[in-house]
Amino acid sequence: MPRGAVCIEILKNSGNEYRVDTPTRGTQWGFTVKQVKELAGERFPGHVAPRFIHLIAQSENLLPFVLGDDRAPVAIPAHRDAAGAWQICKPTEIRRMGFTNTARRFNTINTRLQTVGAGNTLEYRINVRNKLTNQQFGDAGCLVLSGAGGKHICAACLPLTEANDLVIDQTLYWQVVPDEDEAWFRTGALNSSALTEAILPFNPEGDFGPRHIHTLPYRLMPAFDPENEDHQRIAVLARQLAAIAAAAVAGDAYFGDPNRALTRRRSRLREALAATGEKKELESLCAALLGTSSPEDELEVGGAVGDHNVGCDNAMDGGALGK
């Protein structure tokens, strides 16, 4: 997914087509393009109709138990229909809708993309292996998001009422869990050091430590049992820790600053949570659940951020905007 082509700053949000431009360093959403390789330094000023503007959930937003509020706008040639299904549009179709300037901007991007890689259009790139159209969340249950890279697993849980405006980036795994208690159970287990310890023997080593989590946690995590008191307690503790984490993020701008190092932001919040009684109890329960020892501390080891997504019952096994 060429972030340089889809990430935008909204310069004027009035009229039937908003005035937009590509983010640059130093602007509010500059962090979204700071590591782009394709179209690095390119800008695509123009106009986009609001129906084609969405918010992106990406690894930079994800902290232990929390998905930050700095969800950047993206402009893609796709919109959700009344049933929540993604409809991908060619520039000619967008022009017939009456959005001439929007069609012109996407045409400009496609012309530039013809010279990049395989020359595929933007409408093709946003849905490689159906990673966008698979993102149909429904309206019942929760969305569990987790990171794909590094040593420590990181996850957050959102009600679907907060998720339907999101486009999930390839740096996250996602899953729709119909039962709220099960969703919080999964979130609690994913954020435990016990599960991180359990997958370590299977996590490939890079130059700076374990690199890719991928789907390993989901293979080792026991199925949720609503009759199991420990499972229910893990769900309760996860809810409580999410509230504690949200309060910590609200009280310290460092945690939510996407321009800061992601591994360090996660590490600092993880260390703060580790000191709470709720986290200690969660670790004890998850260690018993997985048959591992309960860690006394949680020192961060930096790792690269991965680029995928996965799920459970209604979950998908690919990234949101392509791998």
pLDDT in tens, 256-314: 999 899 999 999 999 999 999 999 999 999 999 998 655 444 433 333 233 343 444 44
Q: How many helices (H) and strands (E) does the chain have?
A: 10, 15
* 253 Cβ contact partners less than 8 Å away, ≥ 6 residues apart: none
Q: Is residue 306 part of a domain?
A: no
Confidence check: pLDDT of 32 > 70? yes
Q: How far apart are CA 58 and CA 69, in angstroms?
A: 11
**Res 311: pLDDT:** 40
Statement to judge: residues 164 and 196 lie in one domain: yes
Say whether both 147 and 112 belong to one domain: no
C-alpha to C-alpha distance for 41 and 110, rounded to whole angstroms: 16
Average pLDDT of span 67-75: 95
Is the torsion defined by CA of 272, 220, 158, 282 positive or negative? negative
**143: DSSP letter:** E
Let me know if residue 195 belongs to a domain.
yes
User: What average pLDDT does the structure give for the chain?
Assistant: 87
Q: Is residue 92 part of a domain?
A: yes
Total number of domains in the chain: 2
- Do 82 and 179 lie in one domain? The reply is no
- Distance, in Å, from the CA atom of 145 to the CA atom of 160, rounded to the nearest integer, reads 12
Question: Residue 2: pLDDT band by 50, 70, 90 thresholds?
Answer: confident
Do 156 and 281 fall into the same domain? yes
Name every residue whose Cβ is closer than 8 Å to that of residue 303 and which is 6 or more positions away in sequence. 149, 150, 151, 152, 206, 208, 209, 210, 211, 263
Q: Sort 37 into a burial class: Cβ within 10 Å, 0-12 / 13-18 / 19+.
A: exposed
More confident residue, 132 or 212: 132
Q: Pick from 101, 125, 141, 115: which is nearest to 19 by CA?
A: 101
Q: Are residues 232 and 113 in the same domain?
A: no
Same domain, 52 and 152: no
Sheet-wide strand order for 73-75 = 73-75, 53-57, 166-168
Helix (H) or strand (E) holding 301, with range, is none
Which pLDDT belongs to residue 205?
53
Per-residue pLDDT, 296: 45
Give the pair of three-digit tokens for residue 201. Answer: 């023997």
Q: What is the mean pLDDT of residues 47-76?
A: 96
**136 domain residue, yes or no:** no
Q: Is residue 65 part of a domain?
A: no
Residues forming a β-bridge with 147: 172
Q: Clarify whether residues 169 and 109 are in a common domain.
A: no
Tell me, yes or no, whether 175 and 240 share the same domain: yes
Pair 219, 92 in one domain: no
pLDDT (0 to 100) of residue 213: 52
Of residues 13, 143, 173, 3, the one with CA closest to residue 76 = 3
Q: Are residues 203 and 76 in the same domain?
A: no
In a domain, 316, yes or no: no
pLDDT at 322 over 70: no
Q: Work out the average pLDDT over 17-45.
A: 92
Same-domain status, 95 and 186: no
156 with 195, same domain?
yes
Flag whether 67 is in a domain: no
- Please write the tens of the pLDDT for every residue from 157-210: 999 998 988 999 988 999 999 999 999 999 999 999 999 888 776 655 544 344
If you ran DSSP here, which 8-state letter would residue 302 be given? -
Domain carrying residue 267: 142-290
Q: Does the residue 173 lie in any domain? A: yes
